[in-house]
A and B are shown apart, each in its own frame.
Chain A
Amino acid sequence: MNNTLNNTDLVKKSLRKRYFKERLFRSLGLVSIATAIIFLLILLADITSKALPAFSQTQLELTVELDRDRLGLSAQPDEAELMAADFRLVIRDALLAQFPEVTSRRDKRELYTLTSMGAEFQLRDMVIDDLSLLGQTITVPFMADDDVDAVIKGSIDRTLPESDRRVKDQKLAWIETLEASGQIDTAFNWHFFSSGDSREPEMAGIKGAILGSFYTLLVTLALSFPIAVAAAIYLEEFAPKNRFIDFIEININNLAAVPSIVFGLLGLAVFINFFTLPRSAPLVGGIVLSLMTLPTIIIASRSAIKAVPPSLREAALGLGASKMQTVFHHVLPAALPGILTGTIIGMAQALGETAPLLMIGMVAFIVDIPQSVADPATVLPIQVFLWADSPERGFLEKTSAAIMVLLFFLVAMNAIAIYLRKKFEKKW
C-alpha cells in the first residue's frame, strides 16, 4: 500500500516536468511556424508591391492626322506597302503640333521620345485592321515611353534636383503640360500578357516566356510521365530481386541528387551537339528537364505502388488475374493519386528550373512568340533572370510581375495536385 502511494507521488512529480517539456515543444513549434509565415508574407508583399505597377501602363493621347501623302501611301495600299510606311512621321507631327515652341534638332529628338518606340507599330496595326482610317484625323492613346511611365507612376521623383534625375526639366515640363490637359492616363497593361520580350521595358511582355514554359513542360510531361511510371511499375512489380536491380535503384536515387546544371551540360553535348536538335528550343529544354524529373516521378510512383495493400494484389491473383491484369486493373488505379501528385511536384520543379536551360541556349533574347516546340523560346524563370539583369528602371517592376506569374502557375499546379489526390483517393 505504502508502495502505491509512493508511486503516485513519483508520477505526480514527473508529470510537471513532462508537461513543461510538452509546452516547451509546442511553443517552439508555434514560433517556427510563425517565423515561416512572416517570411512568406514579407516575400509576397514585397513582390506584389513591386509588381503591381507593371500591370498598368501609361498612355499618351495624341491626335494624329493619317494623311496618305505624308505616309507616302497610294490610294489603295496593300499590306506590304503599309508595313513599309513610316508611321513615326505622323506621330512626330502630332507631338510637334502639341508643342510648337520646340524647334532645335536636339529638342525635337528629345520630344519624340515621349512616346514609346512601339507607338508606330500600334498605329500601323490599327490602320491595317481598318483601312478607312486613312485620311482621317483620329485620337489615339499611344503607349508612353518608360521614362514617362516612371514619372507618372512616381518611381522617378519629380522633386529631385535636375542633375540627380533621369528625366530632365524640359521633358518633365512637357509631361506636366500633357498631364494638365488630361492627355495622360493609365490603363490595364494587356500588352504585358500579349507580347514577347523587348529591349524597351514598356513593350516587354511575358507571353513568349509563358508559352515557352508551356511547350517545355509539355515535352517534359510527355517524355517523363510514361517512362517514369513504366519504370516504377517494372521495378516494383516485375523486377527480380538481385544485385543488378539494386544497382539501378541506387542510381535512380543518386540521379535525383545530381546538380541540375550537369543535366544542362549533358543536353548541350548530347542533344544539341550530337543529335543537332535546334538550340534554344523547348524541345531540347523539355528533354533535359525530363531527365531531371524522371527520378522524382519514379521515386514517388514507386512509393505509391508500394503503399498499395498486398491484399488487393492477392485478391486479384487469387481470382486468376495475370500479373499484368493485377497491376493495370488494381494496383495502378490505387496508386494513381500518389503517382499524379509526384508527377505534378516534378513538373512544378521543372517549371522553376533555370540552370540547365541556360546551358542549352534558352537564355537568348527572343522577341518572337514561339509557335511550336522547335521554335527558339525562353521560359518564365529565365525571363525573370533576364529582366532582373537589365539596367532600365522599367524592368524592375516587370521582374516582379514575372515572378508573380511564375508563382501563380506554381500555386495552380500544386492546387491541381491536391485536387487530383482528393479525387482519386479511395478507401479500402
Chain B
Amino acid sequence: MNEAVMNELVDPTMNARSNPETEDSLNIEYTDTVGQPLCEKAKIRTQNVNVFYADNQAIHNVSLDIGAHEVIALIGPSGCGKSTYLRTLNRMNDTIDICRVEGKILLDDENIYSKKQDPVLLRARVGMVFQKPNPFPKSIYDNVAYGPRIHGLTRNKSELDDLVEDSLIKAGLFAEVKDRLHAPGTGLSGGQQQRLCIARTIAVQPEVILMDEPASALDPIATAKIEELMNELKENFTIVIVTHSMQQAARVSQRTAYFHMGRLIEVGETDQIFTNPAHELTEKYITGRFG
C-alpha cells in the first residue's frame, strides 16, 4: 500500500520540471511565507514542519496556524506538498515507512508527534475524507456505525441508530438513503458515496476534518452539494481542505494557503488571496499561468 500512496504524493514534477514558466519561478528567491500564517484562536499550530520521503524533502519549513471553526483551503500545483502537509495533521503519513516528519504540530497546544500521543486517538479527533470515495464494502448503516463502534461511543443499539441517522442528516444523505440503510454503501453514486464518507467521518465526532480534494472525482452537481455541506459543517468542525479548484477554494474557505514546491508561499484571507495576491508565485498560479 505504501508505495501506491507514495507515488500519489511524490509527484515527479518536484524534481524534473519541463514547464518554462516554473523554470522561471525557480529563480525567485525564496523568503518566508507572505501574509498571515498565524491566527489567534488556533486549533492546530504547525511550526517549522519539514517532511521527508527518504532523502527527498517534500515539505520545507512550513509554519501555519489553523483557526478553530474556520475552513482553510490549501491550493497549489500538483506535487507541491499540500496533500503531504494535510496528512501530517492526523499522522496518516505514519503508514509510509520512509516518511519522516520534523518540527512541531500542536493540536490544542499538545504536540501530536510526541511519544505520548496515540495516533489512534489523534485520528478520532482529526478525521479525514479522501480524494476518491472509499466506503467500506458493507451496508450504509455499518459504514457510518463503524467508527462509533470501534471507539465505543454509544451505549446501546438505539443510541447508535440515532447517531447514524444524525450523521447521515448532517451529511445531507439521509433523505436519499433512509429506505435502504442496509444496502451496500458501494452501490451508491459517486457523490452519495463521498457524502457517506463524510457522514462516516462526522459520526466519530472529530474536532477537525481534513479533506483531500473531496470533490475531484465528482460531477458539478455532487460537488455543489459537498460545498454546501462544508458551509454547514464549519459550525461544528474545523475544516482543512486541499483542492485543485480555485473556484472551490474561493467558495468554501475563509482563509487560503498557497503551497509551491513544498514551501508555503502565501497565506491570507481568501478574498485577498484571489483578488490581490501579495506574492508573485501566487499571482501566477491563480491567474492560471502555471499549475
Are A and B a genuine interacting pair, yes or no? yes
Q: Which residues of A contact B (CB under 8 A)?
A: 240-241, 309-322, 325, 329-330, 333-334, 426-428
Shortest CB-to-CB span from B270 to chain A, Å, is: 26
Top 10 nearest A-B pairs (CB, nearest first) are A310-B1, A320-B124, A318-B128, A311-B134, A320-B123, A426-B137, A319-B147, A315-B134, A310-B4, A428-B137
Enumerate chain A residues within 8 angstroms of B1, measured Cβ to Cβ: 310, 313
Task: Assess whether A313 is in contact with B95, with CB atoms less than 8 Å apart.
Answer: yes
User: How many angstroms between the C-alpha atoms of A311 and B147 in the bound complex?
Assistant: 16
Task: Assess whether B123 is in contact with A317, with CB atoms less than 8 Å apart.
Answer: yes
Chain A interface secondary structure, helix, strand, loop or mixed? helix
Q: A320-B150, A426-B137 are in contact. Are A315 and B123 (CB under 8 A)?
A: no
Within 8 A of A (CB), among B123-143: 123-124, 127-130, 132, 134-137
Q: Which of A315, A325, A426 contacts B130 (CB 8 A)?
A: A315
Task: Assess whether B201 is in contact with A318, with CB atoms less than 8 Å apart.
Answer: yes
User: How many angstroms between the C-alpha atoms of A322 and B121 in the bound complex?
Assistant: 9
User: B183: CB under 8 A from chain A?
Assistant: no
Enumerate chain B residues within 8 angstroms of A316, measured Cβ to Cβ: 136, 146
User: B97: CB under 8 A from chain A?
Assistant: yes
Task: Assess whether A320 is in contact with B201, with CB atoms less than 8 Å apart.
Answer: no
Given contacts A310-B1, A314-B134, A315-B197, 12 further A-B contacts (CB under 8 A): A310-B5, A312-B136, A314-B5, A317-B92, A317-B95, A317-B123, A319-B123, A319-B204, A320-B151, A321-B150, A325-B150, A428-B135
User: B90: CB under 8 A from chain A?
Assistant: yes
Q: Which of B2, B97, B186, B204 contacts A320 (CB 8 A)?
A: B204
User: How many angstroms between the C-alpha atoms of A314 and B92 in the bound complex?
Assistant: 8
Enumerate chain A residues within 8 angstroms of B263, measured Cβ to Cβ: none
Q: A241-B97, A310-B4, A320-B121 are in contact. Are A315 and B135 (CB under 8 A)?
A: yes
Task: Assess whether A315 is in contact with B95, with CB atoms less than 8 Å apart.
Answer: no
- B206's nearest neighbour on chain A, judged by CB, is A320
Shortest CB-to-CB span from B267 to chain A, Å, is: 25
User: B260: CB under 8 A from chain A?
Assistant: no
User: B169: CB under 8 A from chain A?
Assistant: no
User: B200: CB under 8 A from chain A?
Assistant: yes
19 contacts between A and B (CB under 8 A): A240-B97, A311-B134, A312-B136, A313-B95, A314-B128, A315-B200, A316-B146, A318-B92, A318-B127, A318-B129, A319-B150, A320-B122, A320-B123, A320-B124, A320-B147, A320-B150, A320-B204, A329-B150, A330-B136
- B8's nearest neighbour on chain A, judged by CB, is A310
Q: A315-B197, A330-B136, A428-B186 are in contact. Are A321 and B127 (CB under 8 A)?
A: no
Enumerate chain B residues within 8 angstroms of A309, measured Cβ to Cβ: 134
Shortest CB-to-CB span from A187 to chain B, Å, is: 54
User: B39: CB under 8 A from chain A?
Assistant: no
Within 8 A of A (CB), among B109-129: 120-124, 127-129
Task: Assess whether B132 is in contact with A311, with CB atoms less than 8 Å apart.
Answer: yes
- A237's nearest neighbour on chain B, judged by CB, is B1
Within 8 A of A (CB), among B76-106: 90, 92, 95, 97
Task: Assess whether B127 is in contact with A319, with CB atoms less than 8 Å apart.
Answer: yes
User: How many angstroms between the C-alpha atoms of A311 and B134 in the bound complex?
Assistant: 6
Task: Assess whether B186 is in contact with A314, with CB atoms less than 8 Å apart.
Answer: no
- A426's nearest neighbour on chain B, judged by CB, is B137
Enumerate chain A residues within 8 angstroms of B124, measured Cβ to Cβ: 319-320
User: How many angstroms between the C-alpha atoms of A319 and B151 in the bound complex?
Assistant: 9
Enumerate chain B residues within 8 angstroms of A428, measured Cβ to Cβ: 134-135, 137, 186
Enumerate chain A residues within 8 angstroms of B135, measured Cβ to Cβ: 315, 428
- A236's nearest neighbour on chain B, judged by CB, is B1
- A318's nearest neighbour on chain B, judged by CB, is B128
Enumerate chain A residues within 8 angstroms of B151, measured Cβ to Cβ: 320
User: How many angstroms between the C-alpha atoms of A375 and B72 in the bound complex?
Assistant: 72
Enumerate chain B residues within 8 angstroms of A314, measured Cβ to Cβ: 5, 92, 95, 128, 130, 134
Pick the most buried of A309, A311, A313, A330: most chain B CB atoms within 10 A of its CB: A311
Contact with A along B162-205 (1 / 0, CB 8 A): 00000000000000000000000010000000000100110010
Q: A320-B151, A325-B150 are in contact. Are A315 and B186 (CB under 8 A)?
A: no
Task: Assess whether A321 is in contact with B120, with CB atoms less than 8 Å apart.
Answer: yes
User: How many angstroms between the C-alpha atoms of A314 and B1 in the bound complex?
Assistant: 9
Shortest CB-to-CB span from A127 to chain B, Å, is: 64
Q: Which of B4, B97, B136 contacts A315 (CB 8 A)?
A: B136
Shortest CB-to-CB span from A311 to chain B, Å, is: 4
Task: Assess whether A312 is in contact with B123, with CB atoms less than 8 Å apart.
Answer: no
Enumerate chain A residues within 8 angstroms of B204, measured Cβ to Cβ: 319-320
Within 8 A of A (CB), among B197-241: 197, 200-201, 204
User: How many angstroms between the C-alpha atoms of A316 and B2 in the bound complex?
Assistant: 15
Q: Which of A312, A325, A426 contacts B134 (CB 8 A)?
A: A312
Enumerate chain B residues within 8 angstroms of A313, measured Cβ to Cβ: 1, 95
Pick the most buried of A317, A329, A427: most chain B CB atoms within 10 A of its CB: A317
User: How many angstroms between the C-alpha atoms of A240 and B98 in the bound complex?
Assistant: 11
Contact with A along B32-43 (1 / 0, CB 8 A): 000000000000
Task: Assess whether B186 is in contact with A318, with CB atoms less than 8 Å apart.
Answer: no
Enumerate chain B residues within 8 angstroms of A241, measured Cβ to Cβ: 97
Enumerate chain A residues within 8 angstroms of B5, measured Cβ to Cβ: 310, 314
Enumerate chain B residues within 8 angstroms of A426, measured Cβ to Cβ: 137, 186
Enumerate chain A residues within 8 angstroms of B137, measured Cβ to Cβ: 312, 333-334, 426-428
